Amino acid sequence: MPTRALAPLALLAVLSPQLPAPPARAQATLPAPSGDPLRWQQLPAGSAPSPTSGGELQWQPLGERRALRWQEVPADQVITPEMVGASGPPDPAELPEPTPPALPVIRNLARGITVNGEAYPDTGLQVPNAFAADPEYTVSTAITATSRTRSCEVPRGGDWKDCADAEAYIDLIPFRWENGSLGFQWTVQSLSGRNQGTGQFAAQSLGFRTAINLGPTTGLAFGGEHVLQLDENTDLGRNFYLVVSQAIPLQQRSDPWLVVATAGIGSDFFGYGNNGVLGATDCLSGNNISSRSFPDGTDCYWGPIGSLSLQMGPQVAVGLEWFGFGIGAGVSVRPIPEVPFTMSFYLTDFLGNVPSGIEELCTSDPCEPRLYGRFSMSF
């Protein structure tokens, strides 16, 4: 038998002592391919691989050898361990800007609104809008002032403050839902007791307001101001109203420009004089300024009311309103971003004796322009 054929038997004898020893000639030293002799070494018992069930070792060819391919790179592209240690984690990918909703969500905030939760200026000074209250706000406070009441004339050399007037309002909205709200209003009409007239902090009254959003930009509200009069000094009317508001976004963004329109009907102050074209109803009690038998008559007249405003983002708005007792036009601003504080300045009686019927209250003919202001803060 050739020497090359006996080599496997010699290896088997060394690796497995349990098998019979091969012939002595199989232990010959065979030359390695390189010319150096192969060196065989006895393994400890039990460390050899176990034979197969057939008593024969199974030989299996190795996989195809693949040579490593080395490629030279420029020195400035070599990554060193120092570079890996000094480098931080990769910057996260920039997230895309969220797409603003096709229609913003409009809610009420005193005489103003919120758009997608952000406070906007007033939509009107006298005419309330119809949106449900923003659920994030519970209380709104406001002071409404006028430079001069219609029936007051400043004497020559007198102080204009003798004819100025102001009221304080507190709106409390304890019931707020996603698309509806119910709140109450407390009014103090006399803040100063000027000219030895109505005493300071007199003419207090209570009102209410309930509203529902029919859609993201449409609201419906019913309410009343100075409904429950706590004394006989209130002379701002018992003013019920039913209004609907529609906001029209001019941009698709989170803080868009808007046109906000409000229309409806209102009583007493809203239906004063020739504006009471819709007729009269009983208004629960006397002291109604539109009653033909003021102050004892319990009747009050109803008329159309409305407002239109252009909201130029969350800080500036211009508006025009018809509130029965007169016409107003002006500007509303929020001077401090992120703070729901609003200042509004409106001019009224700038068309003279319009609406008709107010001339009997004025100290001049035609009626002279007067300035209204409103300062509100919400929490």
- Mean pLDDT, consecutive 10-residue stretches, the chain (379 aa), reads 50 49 47 56 62 60 72 81 73 77 93 97 97 97 94 81 90 96 95 68 94 98 97 92 98 95 97 94 93 93 98 98 96 96 97 89 92 97
Side-by-side strand order, sheet with 112-115 = 106-109, 112-115, 118-122
**Dihedral of CA 119/332/257/264: which sign?**
positive
Cross-strand bridge partners of residue 239: 225
Looking up tokens 């809610």 gives 107
So what's the pLDDT on residue 19?
A: 46
So what's the pLDDT on residue 58?
A: 67
Q: Is there a contact between 130 and 245 (Cβ–Cβ < 8 Å)?
A: yes
So what's the pLDDT on residue 42?
A: 66
End-to-end CA distance of the chain: 107
So what's the pLDDT on residue 226?
A: 97
Helix (H, G, I), strand (E, B) or coil at 274: helix
- Which residue, among 272, 275, 274, has the nearest Cα to 283 in the 3D structure? 272
So what's the pLDDT on residue 213?
A: 98
Q: Which long-range contacts (CB under 8 A, 24 or more apart) does 294-302 make?
A: 295/232, 300/237, 300/238, 300/267, 300/268, 300/271, 301/267, 301/268, 301/271, 301/272, 301/275, 301/276, 302/265, 302/266, 302/267, 302/270, 302/271, 302/276, 302/278
Cross-strand bridge partners of residue 37: 31
Helix (H, G, I), strand (E, B) or coil at 195: helix
Helix (H, G, I), strand (E, B) or coil at 327: strand
**Please, is 207 exposed, middle or buried when counting C-beta atoms within 10 Å of its C-beta (0-12, 13-18, 19+)?**
buried
How many angstroms separate the CA atoms of 184 and 173, rounded?
A: 6
So what's the pLDDT on residue 39?
A: 64
Looking up tokens 């629960």 gives 284
So what's the pLDDT on residue 44?
A: 66
So what's the pLDDT on residue 28?
A: 45
The CA-atom distances, in angstroms, between 154 and each of 135, 160, 173, 227, 312 are 45, 6, 39, 31, 37
- Which residue, among 207, 203, 144, has the nearest Cα to 173 in the 3D structure? 207
CA 6 to chain centre: 90
> How many CA atoms lie within 13 Å of 268's alpha carbon, on the beta-carbon side?
27
So what's the pLDDT on residue 262?
A: 98
In terms of DSSP H, where are the helices of the chain?
3-15, 81-86
